[in-house]
Amino acid sequence: MINHIDLSTVLRRTVCDLYSDLVTRPTGAAVRDGIEKQLSELGDRSLTVIDFSHVGLLDYSCADEIVAKLLMRYAEASAPRDAYFLFRGVSDSHLDAIETVLERHGLAIVAQAEDGTVVLVGTVDDPERRAWEAMLRMGRAMAGDLAREAEIAPEQVDRVIGALCRRRLAMELDGGYVVVGAVT
Amino acid sequence: MTTVINLPPSLDERTFETVLEHLAPIPIDEKVLLDGRHTRWASPYGLTALLTIAQTRAEKPALVSPESEETGSYWARTGFFRHAEELFEMHGSTHRARSSGESDVLLEITPVAKSEDVHEVVGRIQQKSASILVKELNIDAKATMGFAMTLSEACQNIVEHAGRGGWVAVQTYRWQKRLGRRVVVIAVCDAGVGFRQSLESAQGRRMSDRWDDGMALEEAVIRGVSRFRDPGRGQGLAGVRRYIGRWDGKLSVRSGTARIAIVPSWDEDVPLEEKLPPFPGAQMQITIPERITDR
């Protein structure tokens, strides 16, 4: 199931209906809490579009509270549910803050551009990037095919796919693997 | 007994040190009168630091406002007197705001104590700063968001660490003497616990033998260390550093008895000053110069 969360709506509902900027840690924490409440109403497995389109400014503190902490929570083995995220409406100035916090924590996200194309943003090692890009080209990919397409040793491909899924950048679907955002 | 301290003719980050030198030996419960009659100019740092001084005194200090109509008018435009009237026993001329072409107040002196204040500051600066930064300082339109982010993070330093409210002001002016260009200056001052005490409050933190205000500033400003154990903390000042690096700006932070600066090529400041007269809290100044474009 694909869920859509407009961050400006969450901001207005959880913090103040006059705000359009995502600034300060308390604001970020309140918005993340609002997102998690919505996630808790979904099934065990979900894909959520986190939409920045109507957000004015995003500062580092807020990016850390919303993006980094949300990802870290759902990448843990103890995550409350199997949730994946696609980030949409991310402007250059949002990206500046988001990239900074992702690098700080060694995280990555999948962001969707206006034309619908998806890109990886953040910290990804070379085999992970090759596997993710190959998966994107192939649509739904099986491990063996992916190893050939991405030129990854067969004995390593499971580890790479496992890392992409754990990091919420790819997901298992009908026995194969797809990048987050390929199924919207 | 009241001790009179003359404010310098030009009240900025550097000359403010002379005020602190005179203030240092005076017990906080003793009356001081800050005499600004002959002050002709004040930077946002000078004005916000003056308000901060008043917060550090147990006995309400007195302030004599500038004699110069032009200076007084500018101080009025910054909103200084509105706050000063609550913190000082005011003497001297009453001034009203008049417009001037030479300096633009981008953000009046604004109290910052809580997260909502940062939202307010960021909202106001975005409305006012975009065209000035682009047209007058030749700063890329994209960078105006970064400017607001920098301001947000600088203000959050008060909310997260100071333990009491502080002040922020933003202004553009022509920095003729040192640079011959226009600059935009952010000043953020508080009389809170300061960097050293804030870092000391971190649980399980071990201090080295050399631990002092200078080292605390190095840890926080250069290495991004925070009192919180959360690994995501400390990114605010790192972001400020990145922004000033990108736009050839200058960052200086004073806390306690030390002052640290990220110094660009156009300035001759020293990276670290220690054994300064004590001043509670933290005082930050960010200067972004006009960009010189090839015509």
Residues of chain A that touch chain B, judged by Cβ-Cβ distance less than 8 Å: 16, 19, 21, 23-27, 56-61, 64-65, 68-69, 91-93, 96-97, 100-101, 104-105
DSSP conformation letters of B240-268: HHHHHHHTT-EEEEEEETEEEEE--TT--
Domain boundary among B44, B63, B97: B97
User: How far is C-alpha B75 from the geometric centre of its chain's CA atoms?
Assistant: 15
Average pLDDT on A57-84 reads: 94
pLDDT of residue B35: 98
Which position has the higher pLDDT, B293 or B91?
B91
Instruction: Grade residue A184 by pLDDT with cuts at 50, 70 and 90.
Output: low
On the question of pLDDT at B150 being above 80, the answer is yes
Whether residues B136 and B275 share a domain: the answer is yes
Whether residues B148 and B290 share a domain: the answer is yes
Q: Are A53 and A88 in contact (CB under 8 A)?
A: yes
Report residue B245: phi and psi, to 5°. Answer: -65, -40
Whether residues B140 and B244 share a domain: the answer is yes
Whether residues B166 and B188 share a domain: the answer is yes
Average pLDDT on B267-293 reads: 93
Instruction: Grade residue A166 by pLDDT with cuts at 50, 70 and 90.
Output: very high
Per-residue pLDDT of B68-97, as tens digits, reads 999 999 999 999 999 999 999 999 988 877
Would the CB atoms of B122 and A26 count as touching at under 8 Å?
no
Query: Which token pair is B234?
Result: 């400390």
Which position has the higher pLDDT, A107 or B134?
A107
Among A150-159, B6-15, B23-32, B96-105, whose mean pLDDT is lowest?
B96-105
| DSSP state for residue A22 in the 8-state scheme | B
Residue in the structure block whose two tokens are 């890329």: B140
Q: Work out the number of other CB atoms within 10 angstroms of the CB of residue B159.
A: 22
Whether residues B64 and B113 share a domain: the answer is no
pLDDT of residue A183: 65
Residues of chain B that touch chain A, judged by Cβ-Cβ distance less than 8 Å: 115-116, 118-119, 122-123, 126, 142, 145-146, 148-149, 152-153, 156, 159-160, 231-232, 235-236, 238-239, 242
Report residue B178: phi and psi, to 5°. Answer: -90, -30
Whether residues B92 and B118 share a domain: the answer is no
Average pLDDT on B58-70 reads: 96
On the question of pLDDT at A130 being above 80, the answer is yes
pTM (whole model) above 0.95: no
Instruction: Grade residue A147 by pLDDT with cuts at 50, 70 and 90.
Output: very high
Whether residues B83 and B184 share a domain: the answer is no
Whether residues B90 and B113 share a domain: the answer is no
Instruction: Grade residue A7 by pLDDT with cuts at 50, 70 and 90.
Output: very high
Whether residues B151 and B12 share a domain: the answer is no
Strand intervals (E) in B179-228: 181-190
Q: Give the domain range for residue B59.
A: 1-97
3-state secondary structure of B188: strand
Contacts 24+ apart (CB under 8 A), A148-155: A152/A127
Nearest to B36 by CA among B86, B90, B85, B82: B90
Average pLDDT on B236-258 reads: 93
Q: Where are the domains of chain A?
A: 2-123, 124-184
pLDDT of residue B295: 47
Q: Are A52 and B145 in contact (CB under 8 A)?
A: no
Nearest to B269 by CA among B279, B254, B257: B254
Tell me how far apart the alpha carbons of residues A68 and A85 are, in angstroms, rounded to a whole number. Answer: 12
pLDDT of residue B274: 96
pLDDT of residue B63: 97
Would the CB atoms of B235 and A64 count as touching at under 8 Å?
yes
A124-184: CATH topology: Arc Repressor Mutant, subunit A (1.10.10)
Strands A108-112 and A82-88 turn out to be parallel
Instruction: Grade residue B136 by pLDDT with cuts at 50, 70 and 90.
Output: confident
Nearest to B123 by CA among A53, A27, A32, A6: A27
| pLDDT > 90: percent of chain A | 83
Instruction: Grade residue B2 by pLDDT with cuts at 50, 70 and 90.
Output: very high
Whether residues B182 and B278 share a domain: the answer is yes
Q: Are A109 and A102 in contact (CB under 8 A)?
A: yes
Instruction: Grade residue B20 by pLDDT with cuts at 50, 70 and 90.
Output: very high
| DSSP state for residue B269 in the 8-state scheme | -
DSSP conformation letters of A89-150: S--HHHHHHHHHHHHHHT-EEEEE-TTS-EEEEE---HHHHHHHHHHHHHSSB-HHHHHHHH
On the question of pLDDT at A90 being above 60, the answer is yes
| ipTM of model | 0.82
Average pLDDT on A43-62 reads: 93
Whether residues B88 and B46 share a domain: the answer is yes
Q: With contacts defined as CB-CB under 8 Å, which chain B residues touch A97?
A: 149, 239
Nearest to A124 by CA among A97, A99, A156, A157: A99
Contacts 24+ apart (CB under 8 A), B24-29: B24/B277, B24/B278, B28/B56, B28/B57, B28/B58, B28/B59, B29/B58, B29/B59
Would the CB atoms of A93 and B159 count as touching at under 8 Å?
no
pLDDT of residue B179: 76
Average pLDDT on A150-162 reads: 94
Whether residues B4 and B122 share a domain: the answer is no
Tell me how far apart the alpha carbons of residues B265 and B284 are, in angstroms, rounded to a whole number. Answer: 19
Which position has the higher pLDDT, B207 or B50?
B50
Provide the shortest C-alpha distance from residue A59 to chain B (in Å): 5
Which position has the higher pLDDT, B132 or B79?
B79
Alpha-helical (H) ranges within B14-107 are 16-23, 44-56, 69-77, 80-87
Question: Which of A15, A22, A25 should one mutate to test binding to chain B, selecting the residue with the greatest count of B CBs within 10 A?
Answer: A25
Per-residue pLDDT of B175-201, as tens digits, reads 877 778 899 999 999 999 899 998 888
Mean pLDDT, chain B, rounded, equals 90
Instruction: Grade residue B103 by pLDDT with cuts at 50, 70 and 90.
Output: low
Domain boundary among B97, B117, B139: B97
Domain boundary among B78, B97, B116: B97
Would the CB atoms of A19 and B119 count as touching at under 8 Å?
yes
Per-residue pLDDT of B208-230, as tens digits, reads 778 899 999 999 999 888 777 77
Query: Which token pair is A41?
Result: 């109403």
Which position has the higher pLDDT, A13 or B161?
A13
Report the C-alpha dihedral over residues A84, A90, A94, A99, rounded to 10 degrees: 50
Q: With contacts defined as CB-CB under 8 Å, which chain A residues touch B116?
A: 16
Q: What is the CATH number of the domain that holds B18?
A: 3.30.750.24
Domain count, chain B: 2
For the domain made up of A2-123, the CATH class stated in words is: alpha beta
